[in-house]
Amino acid sequence: MGKKREAIKQVEQVDVDVSRAVSGWRESQPVKALGWFGKMTDQPPLYAFIGGIAAAALIRRDTRLLQSSARMLAAHWAGIRAKNAVKNAVDRTRPQMLIDEGRYEAGKGSRPEKAFSSFPSGHTVGAVAIARVVARDYPEHRLPAYALATLAAFTRIAKCDHFLSDTIAGALIGWGAERVSYRRSLTPEPA
């Protein structure tokens, strides 16, 4: 077995171990109570959040906030496009299948079913992309923004919706999407 395949196997084993360790919590009251928050980091609620920020900026005539909402939209959109490309390239069962059926599979993407689309976490992509915009545009709010993005990732793991590495990959994609969209927003207009 090559080094790359061995490293992947080690990550998968950590993922399986973590999911088994937290599986007893997924029906607990604290995780259920936080479950709504995880749902708020899905695509439609985040787009609605961004729209609300833009509307507030327009009402307040706050150019800085309006520009920030535009960057949130660009970062989230770019992150979701990247996440979709990875999900199409990789099949991976979700932790629920591992916990409920004892089944784990991963491989080259060919199955469109939700049960085989664990990698990466789209909720984490969006939460981190938006947190990065907030941290860049409003650095005084970076800690709460990052804390909320971390909480979003944690809820996905605790509910056995995603493996640990799914959320790490989602965070990296969200981080990168914000970085790319920010750099593009600084590109001067062609003459």
CA distance 70 to 181: 10
- Write out the residue range of the structural domain in which residue 146 sits: 28-185
Q: Are 105 and 116 in contact (CB under 8 A)?
A: yes
> Does position 175 have pLDDT exceeding 60, yes or no?
yes
**Does the residue 8 lie in any domain?**
no
**Does the residue 103 lie in any domain?**
yes
Number of structural domains found in the chain: 1
**Does the residue 148 lie in any domain?**
yes
**Does the residue 89 lie in any domain?**
yes
Of residues 160, 84, 173, the one with CA closest to residue 128: 173
Residues 10-65: tens digit of each pLDDT = 998 999 999 999 988 888 888 888 888 878 899 999 999 999 999 999 999 999 99
* pTM, two decimal places: 0.89
Of residues 136, 118, 138, the one with CA closest to residue 178: 136
Which residue is it, tokens 């799914």? 166
Bridge partners, 107 (sequence order): 91
